[in-house]
Amino acid sequence: MRFHVSCFFIVCAMALQAENVQPRLAFHVMGDEPGGWPELLSSLGLTNGTGGGASVIVAPHGVGLPPAEWAARVERGAILVLEGESPLAAAFGFHAGVQPHLSVRSVEDLRAPDLAIVWEKALDVAVFDIPAEAHVFARERWQKAPLLAGFRKGAGAVLWVAAPPGPHGYERFPYLPQALLDLGLQPPFRSTRLWAFFDSAYRARVDVDYFAQRWRAAGIGALHVAAWHFWERDPQGDEYLRLLIDACHRNAIQVYAWLELPHVSEIFWDQHPEWREKTALLQDAQLDWRKLVNLTNRDAFAAVAAGARDLLTRFDWDGVNLAELYFESIEGHENPARFTPLNDDVRKEFQQADGFDPLELFDAKSPRHWQKNAPGLARFLDFRALLAQRQQTEWIAQIEEIRRLKPQLDLTLTHIDDRFDTSMREKLGADAARVLPLLAQHDFTFLIEDPATIWNLGPQRYPQIAARYAPITPAQEKLAIDVNIVERYQDVYPTKQQTGAELFQLVHTAANSFPRVALYFEASIARHDLPWLASAAAAVDRAVNANGKLVVESRRGVGVPWKGPATVDGKPWPFASDSVVWLMPGGHTIESTTAPLSLRVLDFNGDLKAAASTASGIQFAYQSNARAMALLERAPAKLQIDGVERTPDMAGKVLLLPRGQHYVTLSSDKASGVD
């Protein structure tokens, strides 16, 4: 048995080999039993094509193919994926050895050797000899037998796997997509519609400009920053936050104040013991990291509202996220040590309405204990859900008031799902059906957080969740979904935390089910996953290369890798960098051109509705829930918004534009008017 153990990066010489001019967009799985390959490859943004038009071709185990023609196809740029033992695998140097088979369950990926990769069921696998030029990406943890290996050949590459990737494509080799990247496959598309949660406690001493560039490259369009760390004024903390916001704006990333009410801040909790929330054991509600405040109390509400106003007006926020504004606990009333709210104000209000103190529901000696008093418990749980809705309505109104001072602010309400896991209403007081009608009266995004109870169910839960919200949502475009990238308490395989192929399938399926996808949280995304995120988040329905033209259909707009100037639908296209053409939703045709442009938008954080290049600049229409951000090739000499001349508001080379729907004219000539 001979093989080479690879480092994380392929040697630099490989990067110098020839690349295809046209982007690789399609895959094809040969044979009648594709297994999990289509789900795996489509989650990377690749489209399912035919054998002749595909640049990534999979030969599953048992598919008989003549080897002779495949070496030439690989040389010309095809990436050939070989599965297990076959004459074709042998032709490329992958031979089953004479050693006994191994029972494989634990896998070591050499780019993340400390990551525990465990298969749900052990698999009997032959021990292979592999060619000297092949690099091993993954191997059996204890015997070190190769399981995933490959090499570049000409403009293409060969990737061999010892076994299929699993029925859904992610069960065995989390970093198979990263191996394809090492072998030359570039992400075919780019979405910039991802949101990510950010907690400065995990990034206290970092280069914010470096991280902002990294986030944008990963497709993140907005950062939701843990604002409770900055509730009280502090010169050092305030300066850090201003630097972070400025760095994000220079990279066309919006920044939202992420609030976790009724948690306010550590200092607020310490200073106001009289306003602390109480559990059903009448203990202070310090639950995990959150220290909950009694917002039913009018004095407490007024103090928190004043603090929120100060926080939101002293920084250059683009939006606000009211997150998880309901009650505890995930175990419901059966765990009184975590169950809230049982403060004096809530108890008094319920007793006046229903005739008994709800604390009796948790007194084992009382005839009103919940085990003996199901109707009383039901009434209190309903009261609790109504109270949560009341608080959400109050705080939406508070943000609306602040919007009068800062009209650029967007609003998001993060709400635990209670349509798929219907137990959440009783456990947390969360009732989406009561809150969603507010979309008809208020402008906000409803961000659905799937609860920990269903994190083990896989990517296909997202279309099911979307289907349950559609009938009760007055504005479908205002829905979003929160993907939690955390260690799960259930028995899950192959990794405890979502990474690699599983993460990309989660993001891809979510992005095809909802207009917006949020990731919790930024610091938990493995660095190995960042290069594929933007492509996984792209919702592309069709992509066809033909006669030098590329036809792309996308439902929400997309970035397409492209070298040099381009026309879109026959016209010079100004929304393009040197490597990406940015398309509007719908079907569009890209072609190369030599026509020069007077001005370009290199990156855009908004929903593009129309665009045209003019003799002196650009005209375009857009819609954005928060400020839109356009990274320009150079600062414009003249700006008009909806026909009115404005002074450009620049953050570096990024033009900040007002939220809402607007028509913009950019001119590189001060003397130019509207074309």
Q: Is the pLDDT of residue 12 over 60?
A: no
| Other C-beta atoms lying within 10 Å of the C-beta of residue 470 | 10
Rounded distance between C-alpha atoms, residue 375 and residue 624, angstroms: 47
pLDDT of residue 545: 86
- 3-class DSSP assignment, residue 540: strand
pLDDT of residue 369: 97
Distances (CA, A) of 640 to 38, 77, 257, 589: 47, 46, 30, 29
Q: Are residues 161 and 211 in the same domain?
A: no
**What CATH number did the domain enclosing 57 receive?**
3.40.50
Whether 314 is covered by a domain: the verdict is: yes
Q: Are residues 523 and 558 in the same domain?
A: no
Q: Are residues 560 and 644 in the same domain?
A: yes
Q: What value does the mean pLDDT take over residues 410-421?
A: 97
Domain that residue 390 falls in: 194-331+384-451+464-484+516-536
Whether 612 is covered by a domain: the verdict is: yes
pLDDT of residue 19: 34
Q: What value does the mean pLDDT take over residues 538-559?
A: 93
Tokens of 475: 């504005």
**What CATH number did the domain enclosing 393 receive?**
3.20.20.80
Dihedral, CA atoms, 457, 458, 464, 469, nearest 10 degrees?
90
pLDDT of residue 5: 35
pLDDT of residue 10: 32
Q: What value does the mean pLDDT take over residues 142-161?
A: 97
For 178-198, write each residue's pLDDT tens digit: 999 999 999 999 999 999 999
Q: Are residues 234 and 152 in the same domain?
A: no
Which of 161, 182, 203 is the last residue before a domain boundary?
182
Whether 408 is covered by a domain: the verdict is: yes
Among 340, 249, 345, which residue's Cα sits nearest to residue 301? 345
pLDDT band at 384 (very low <50, low <70, confident <90, very high): very high
Q: What value does the mean pLDDT take over residues 451-455?
A: 93
Upstream peptide bond of 521 is cis (omega within 30 degrees of 0): yes
Q: Are residues 554 and 567 in the same domain?
A: yes
Whether 506 is covered by a domain: the verdict is: no
Find the farthest-apart pair of alpha carbons in the chain and give their distance in angstroms, rounded. 85
Say what the pTM is: 0.94
Whether 358 is covered by a domain: the verdict is: no
Q: Are residues 532 and 544 in the same domain?
A: no
Q: What value does the mean pLDDT take over residues 615-629?
A: 97
- 3-class DSSP assignment, residue 519: strand
Whether 338 is covered by a domain: the verdict is: no
Q: What value does the mean pLDDT take over residues 483-490?
A: 96
42 phi-psi bin (left φ>0, alpha ψ -120 to 50, beta other) = alpha
The CA-based angle 90-95-96, given to 5 degrees, is 135
Q: Number of structural domains, the chain?
A: 3
pLDDT band at 13 (very low <50, low <70, confident <90, very high): very low
pLDDT of residue 217: 97
| Other C-beta atoms lying within 10 Å of the C-beta of residue 645 | 11
Tokens of 406: 């800062």
Distances (CA, A) of 16 to 152, 178, 479, 528, 573: 11, 19, 44, 22, 30
Q: Is the pLDDT of residue 316 over 80?
A: yes
Whether 349 is covered by a domain: the verdict is: no
| Sheet strands (E) in 515-600 | 517-520, 540-546, 549-554, 558-561, 566-568, 571-572, 580-583, 586-592
Upstream peptide bond of 42 is cis (omega within 30 degrees of 0): no
Burial of 424 (0-12, 13-18, 19+ CB in 10 A): buried
Q: What value does the mean pLDDT take over residues 149-154?
A: 97
Percent of the chain with pLDDT over 70: 95
pLDDT band at 670 (very low <50, low <70, confident <90, very high): low
Q: Are residues 109 and 205 in the same domain?
A: no
Q: Are residues 201 and 283 in the same domain?
A: yes
CB of 82 closer than 8 Å to CB of 150: no
Whether 19 is covered by a domain: the verdict is: yes
Q: Are residues 200 and 178 in the same domain?
A: no
CB of 106 closer than 8 Å to CB of 118: yes
Q: Are residues 443 and 388 in the same domain?
A: yes
For 562-613, write each residue's pLDDT tens digit: 999 999 999 999 999 999 999 999 999 999 999 889 999 999 999 999 999 9
Q: Are residues 559 and 639 in the same domain?
A: yes
Q: Are residues 441 and 582 in the same domain?
A: no
For 29-76, write each residue's pLDDT tens digit: 999 899 999 999 999 999 998 766 788 999 988 776 778 889 999 999
DSSP letters spanning 389-433: HHHHHHHHHHHHHHHHH-TT-EEEEEEE--SSSTTHHHHH---HH
pLDDT of residue 17: 33
pLDDT band at 20 (very low <50, low <70, confident <90, very high): very low
